[in-house]
Amino acid sequence: MTSRKLTINGVRRTVDASPGDTLLEVLRREGYVGVKKGCGSGDCGACTVLLDGRAVNACLVLTAKAEGKVIVTIEGLAKGDALHPIQAAFLDEGAVQCGYCTPGMVLSAYDLLSRNPAPSEGEIREAISGNLCRCTGYVKQIRAIQAAAEQMRGGRNG
Amino acid sequence: MAERTRESFVVVGQSVRKVDGVGLVKGKPKFVADVDLSNVLHIKILGSPHAHARIVRIDTSAAAQIPDVVAILTHENTPSTRHTTAGQGYPEPSPYDARMFDTKVRFIGDRVAAVAAETAAAAEEALRAIRVTYEQLPAVLSIDEARAEGAPVIHDEADSTGIYEAARNVVADVDIDVGDVERGFTESDVVIEATCETQYAQHTPVETHVVHSYLDSDDRLVLRTSTQVPFHVRRIVAQTLGIPIQRIRVIKPRVGGGFGTKQEVLLEDIAGWVTLQTGRAAFISLSRAEEFVAARTRHPMRVRVKLGAKKDGVLHAIEMEATSNTGAYGAHGLTVLANTGSKTLPLYNKAKNAHFYGQAVYTNLPVPGAYRGYGATQGYFPLETAMDELAERLGLDPIELRRRNHIRAGETSPIFEKLGEGREGVSQTVKSCELEQCIAVGAERIGWREKRGTQRREGPWVHGVGMSIMMQGSGIPQIDMAAATIKMNEDGSFNLLVGATDIGTGSDTILAQIAAEVLGVPVSRMIVTSSDTDLTPFDVGAYASSTTYVSGMAVQRAAEKVREQILSVAVPMLKASVEDLRLAGEHVVGSGGARVSLAEVCRRAMYSSDQFQIAATASCVPTESPPPFLANFAEVAVDLETGRVKVVHYVATVDCGVAINPLMAEGQMEGAIVNGIGYALSEEMLISSTGRVRNPSLFDYKIPGALDVPNLEVILVGSYEPTGPMGAKSVGEIGINGPIPTIANAIYDAVGIRLRRTPFTPERVLTALEGERRRKGER
């Protein structure tokens, strides 16, 4: 085990990790269980987190590689009781069914909207194409991300 | 009480947020694996490397020496009770042909042994150290091989029961007749026959099967499991492990998708046994590869349909013959087979003569089980493509042929009574059916009249449109049972306790909506607890499109009983008679406008006068299974150069009665259709010549992603089902049946080829296109 210094959701933490431990394993072990495991091979996107602001599959990132970087998990998105507009839109548009892929999908959307506040439908599809969902047909997630983008633009202007 | 109508609903029909939604979007610890696992035993399973073999010897001595290994399970030290893994009502209609660990393995990946260790790595190392000597047996790798004379017998053991004819590998046999089908064909003017085959396909919930087990402080076994059937899990684990039901508590936390694969007891017996033997908490979770190899799949089938019609386009005879591959074990073998006929043939009730015949056979291949659609999906492929051909032969628009033949409200079909869930069915008259409206709305939306038969070109792409119609059911009549308990708290809130199993479908929410509607409160006043065998009343679980209709009715009845109790308490408070009181806005309201809050009513009942707990339990055993109806329309484009098929636009118009929560009903449809599109175009478990799954990953087994889904429109065409809770029918399964025949018919409209085997991969499309070119050239 080696000590690794990680910044998780704005908090600097020292965690123990074996050389082969992925960020997915370490984050879950440290209690960030909103980071889900669906495949362990980068195919499903359930373990998506933000690494220096970009959505990555935590199952493909060795913990050592995340040292010194800023990690955001789904637990870091809401401010207290106030949901992030993407989270609220997912609920209001019916985009959540079982909710297992939701954290990853929300963070992929967050990454997209932070770079592109007014994405086209095609850009939204592209951004969440690495997040597999078996319950929905993606229709409502796409609508939710559009609604969230609109609200976030409105918030920024107002 | 005033009659309920669609217009009078306050909470029902509203797309309220999911009651568990906020925690889910925040990533709160809601799933089985989301607990502290630092002190559990990690369990790993050793799968068979052979498709068919006897275990001659298992040597676990080296494995036992590995540090941190705590327990090793084999057929030598575990219970040998035969049971079925199928989580169905008791007695199960599936054969008792499985053991925890058997002396024989019957497919690659079949259980040989399991290891529990302090770390997952130690458990895996121990698996590699187990030495197994096998006597390999010839394997049966297709339905034709299974039925061949002298085929190896897969279940030759003496102690299995409920197998139709084990010596011939036949799990189940179904044969029903209406009228005289042979004479029906002779009397027909046009006869069409089509045989279609469907592939091995998997549910692939993003959360794989996972169980966490421990002993509570009274030494009872607690199983926290990702299941669709908590009460069946409790019963089957008790049977398998030989312990009393009383000693087991099953808790279903949130489930990361099921679709049928979690209507199965796959891991609970192993985790439970480890915990009972060691006294330790244990954890087991299938890897994605294990899920592909050793969890459940859809039954691959070969289904032949023969249709006979008179010149006027009215069907006179229908025959369906299905052969189902039920893999190494017979879980759901009989019932999926029976539903291939029972959920399809009543749709065309004008045919006076009908015959359904089918067999389910064992093979040494992965084990199919329940999968959304449950046989109907396999049946609608040949039925609805044959209807397309029949329309062409008769010179009729496919829509017109459907209109002349489909069942309508006020009508019945003899099939309802003849063929049920693996036994005789229940006769019923359809009371709500807006299929005509579904067809009309869908045709308009897709642009049927303008697009049909035009073969519009766009570079190498040729466009076509196709359609299909279908029905499903709402629960299993006279078998399913659901119960609900509601109790009131003194702040005017209510606990709703249901055995119904929300696996992401939103049933906790819609059941809360039904109760809230009766009790005159917003959904936020309902506290929902579901699927805990210690705390909630019984429910068969989430399958057979039963929850909204069956569990929903139990909830409605419980709420009505509680409502009566509330009114009885309010009578002296408002000095009014019961008939003049109603519940609305969290108050009991009198006809003159006098009102008292629910909180005041409950405080009186709890603390002041004639005290009692306002609470009630109610059950529902449905006497019929009203079908939801669906019309599907698709526009596809076929690339003549590559054979690729692209779904451009898909319109699904569904009659599911009153949608309790319209957004969620749409979500059920959208998810089912997209899963069906994957099934039609890309999803296929590839199996080697030795029986090995060659593509056990989400990279190699392609399910649709956001870039793969078409412009998809789901339109809810409302009806009111008089036997349903708040007018509702089911909507969970029906959508998945649509894409295969609809896309197949659209491909025919575009390029004139009839595809008989799924998925419609570029290779199969190109091959068919070349065949068609040759055929035309030869003419």
How far does the CA of residue B677 sit from the closest CA of chain A (Å)?
A: 10
Whether the per-residue pLDDT at B545 is higher than 50: the answer is yes
Q: What is the mean pLDDT of residues B611-622?
A: 98
How far does the CA of residue A135 sit from the closest CA of chain B (Å)?
A: 5
- The minimal CB distance from B25 to the residues A37, A96, A137 is found for A96
**B210-215 vs B282-285, strand pairing mode:** antiparallel
- The minimal CB distance from A97 to the residues B31, B506, B714 is found for B506
Q: What is the mean pLDDT of residues B478-492?
A: 97
pLDDT tens for residues B121-170? Answer: 999 999 999 999 999 999 999 999 999 999 999 999 999 999 999 999 99
Does the beta carbon of A102 lie under 8 angstroms from any beta carbon of chain B?
Answer: yes
- Measured CA to CA in angstroms, residue B276 lies from B23, B116, B117, B479, B647 at distances of 33, 12, 15, 33, 52
Give me the residues of B, 505-544, that contact A with CB < 8 A: 505-506
pLDDT at residue number B776: 87
- The minimal CB distance from B25 to the residues A90, A132, A142 is found for A90
Instruction: Sort out which chain B residues have CB atoms less than 8 A from A99's CB and list them.
Output: 20-21, 24-25, 30, 254, 256, 504
Q: Is the bond into B95 cis (omega within 30 degrees of 0)? A: no
**Inter-chain CB proximity A75 and B259 less than 8 Å:** no
- Of B744, B738, B779, B777, residue with least CA distance to B759: B744
- Among chain A residues, CA nearest to B733: A135
**Inter-chain CB proximity A36 and B287 less than 8 Å:** no
**Inter-chain CB proximity B712 and A141 less than 8 Å:** no
Amino acid letter, B475: G
- The minimal CB distance from A102 to the residues B25, B34, B506 is found for B25
pLDDT tens for residues B2-54? Answer: 456 777 899 999 999 999 999 999 999 999 999 999 999 999 999 999 999 99
CB A11 within 8 A of CB A76: no
Interface with chain A: mutation pick from B19, B204, B206, highest number of A CBs within 10 Å: B206
Strand partners, B58: B132
Q: How confident is the model at residue A1 (pLDDT cuts 50, 70, 90)?
A: confident
Give me the residues of A, 6-25, that contact B with CB < 8 A: none
Interface with chain B: mutation pick from A74, A77, A98, A100, highest number of B CBs within 10 Å: A98
pLDDT tens for residues B617-663? Answer: 999 999 999 999 999 999 999 999 999 999 999 999 999 999 999 99
pLDDT at residue number B4: 67
Q: How confident is the model at residue B347 (pLDDT cuts 50, 70, 90)?
A: very high
**B629-639 vs B645-655, strand pairing mode:** antiparallel
Q: How confident is the model at residue B421 (pLDDT cuts 50, 70, 90)?
A: confident
Does the beta carbon of B287 lie under 8 angstroms from any beta carbon of chain A?
Answer: yes
Does the beta carbon of B707 lie under 8 angstroms from any beta carbon of chain A?
Answer: yes
Instruction: Sort out which chain B residues have CB atoms less than 8 A from A133's CB and list them.
Output: 206, 671
Instruction: Sort out which chain A residues have CB atoms less than 8 A from B207's CB and list them.
Output: 36, 38, 98, 100
- The minimal CB distance from A100 to the residues B256, B506, B673 is found for B256
B398-405 and B376-394 are packed helices; what angle lies between their axes, rounded to 10 degrees?
110
Categorise residue B192: left if φ over 0, alpha if ψ from -120 to 50, beta otherwise: beta
Q: What are φ and ψ of residue B15, in 5° steps?
A: -85, 70
Strand partners, B173: B359
Query: What is the maximum alpha-carbon separation in chain A?
Result: 49
pLDDT at residue number A158: 37
pLDDT at residue number A157: 43
Structure tokens at B141: 């790798």
- Of B577, B588, B579, B576, residue with least CA distance to B488: B588
Instruction: Sort out which chain B residues have CB atoms less than 8 A from A128's CB and list them.
Output: 706
**Inter-chain CB proximity B22 and A36 less than 8 Å:** no
pLDDT at residue number B3: 57
- The minimal CB distance from A39 to the residues B255, B288, B706 is found for B288
**Inter-chain CB proximity A36 and B674 less than 8 Å:** no
Q: How confident is the model at residue A155 (pLDDT cuts 50, 70, 90)?
A: low
pLDDT tens for residues A61-104? Answer: 999 999 999 999 999 999 888 999 999 999 999 999 999 999 99
Instruction: Sort out which chain B residues have CB atoms less than 8 A from A123's CB and list them.
Output: none
> How many CB atoms lie under 10 A from the CB of residue B156?
12
CB B230 within 8 A of CB B499: yes
How far does the CA of residue A6 sit from the closest CA of chain B (Å)?
A: 20
**Inter-chain CB proximity B706 and A124 less than 8 Å:** yes
Whether the per-residue pLDDT at B711 is higher than 80: the answer is yes
- Of A70, A91, A83, A89, residue with least CA distance to B26: A83
Strand partners, A16: A3
DSSP string, A6-59: EEETTEEEEEEE-TT-BHHHHHHHTT-TTS--S-SSSSS-TTEEEETTEEEEGG
**Inter-chain CB proximity B25 and A124 less than 8 Å:** no
Q: Is the bond into B759 cis (omega within 30 degrees of 0)? A: yes
pLDDT tens for residues A18-76? Answer: 999 999 999 999 999 999 999 999 999 999 999 999 999 999 999 999 999 999 999 99
Residue B98: strand, helix, or coil: strand
Q: What distance in Å separates the CA atoms of residue B144 and residue B166, rounded to the nearest whole number?
A: 16
Q: What distance in Å separates the CA atoms of residue B642 and residue B424, rounded to the nearest whole number?
A: 48
Residue B461 parent element (H or E): strand B461-471
Residue B510: strand, helix, or coil: helix
Q: How confident is the model at residue B423 (pLDDT cuts 50, 70, 90)?
A: confident
Question: Is the pLDDT higher at B420 or at A142?
Answer: A142
How far does the CA of residue B513 sit from the closest CA of chain A (Å)?
A: 15
Find the DSSP H helices in B321-423: 333-342, 376-394, 398-405, 414-418
pLDDT tens for residues B286-315? Answer: 999 999 999 999 999 999 999 999 999 999
Q: What is the mean pLDDT of residues B443-462?
A: 98
Give me the residues of B, 242-261, that contact A with CB < 8 A: 254-257, 259
- Measured CA to CA in angstroms, residue B776 lies from B55, B303, B645, B763, B764 at distances of 56, 28, 22, 20, 18
Q: How confident is the model at residue B447 (pLDDT cuts 50, 70, 90)?
A: very high
Instruction: Sort out which chain B residues have CB atoms less than 8 A from A143's CB and list them.
Output: none
CB B83 within 8 A of CB B98: yes
* Total CB pairs under 8 A between chain A and B: 168
Instruction: Sort out which chain A residues have CB atoms less than 8 A from B34's CB and list them.
Output: 33
Element counts in chain B: helices (H) and strands (E): 20, 27
**Inter-chain CB proximity A41 and B664 less than 8 Å:** no
Report field, pTM of the whole predicted structure over 0.90: yes
pLDDT tens for residues B51-92? Answer: 999 999 999 999 999 999 999 999 999 999 999 999 999 999
CB B265 within 8 A of CB B233: yes
pLDDT at residue number B672: 98
* Residue matched to tokens 């906790």: B508
Structure tokens at B53: 């073999």
Whether the per-residue pLDDT at B578 is higher than 80: the answer is yes
pLDDT tens for residues B202-258? Answer: 999 999 999 999 999 999 999 999 999 999 999 999 999 999 999 999 999 999 999
Does the beta carbon of A61 lie under 8 angstroms from any beta carbon of chain B?
Answer: no
Structure tokens at B767: 């091959």
pLDDT tens for residues B172-213? Answer: 999 999 999 999 999 999 999 999 999 999 999 999 999 999
Q: What distance in Å separates the CA atoms of residue B61 and residue B126, rounded to the nearest whole number?
A: 10
- Of B448, B440, B439, B532, residue with least CA distance to B485: B532
Does the beta carbon of B652 lie under 8 angstroms from any beta carbon of chain A?
Answer: no
How far does the CA of residue A57 sit from the closest CA of chain B (Å)?
A: 14
Does the beta carbon of B39 lie under 8 angstroms from any beta carbon of chain A?
Answer: no
- The minimal CB distance from B712 to the residues A39, A94, A139 is found for A139
How far does the CA of residue B122 sit from the closest CA of chain A (Å)?
A: 15
How far does the CA of residue B719 sit from the closest CA of chain A (Å)?
A: 22
pLDDT at residue number B297: 98
Does the beta carbon of A147 lie under 8 angstroms from any beta carbon of chain B?
Answer: no
pLDDT tens for residues B255-280? Answer: 999 999 999 999 999 999 999 999 99
Instruction: Sort out which chain B residues have CB atoms less than 8 A from A124's CB and list them.
Output: 706
Residue B9: strand, helix, or coil: coil
Structure tokens at B346: 């009543």
How far does the CA of residue B258 sit from the closest CA of chain A (Å)?
A: 9
Does the beta carbon of A50 lie under 8 angstroms from any beta carbon of chain B?
Answer: no
How far does the CA of residue B708 sit from the closest CA of chain A (Å)?
A: 9
Does the beta carbon of A30 lie under 8 angstroms from any beta carbon of chain B?
Answer: no
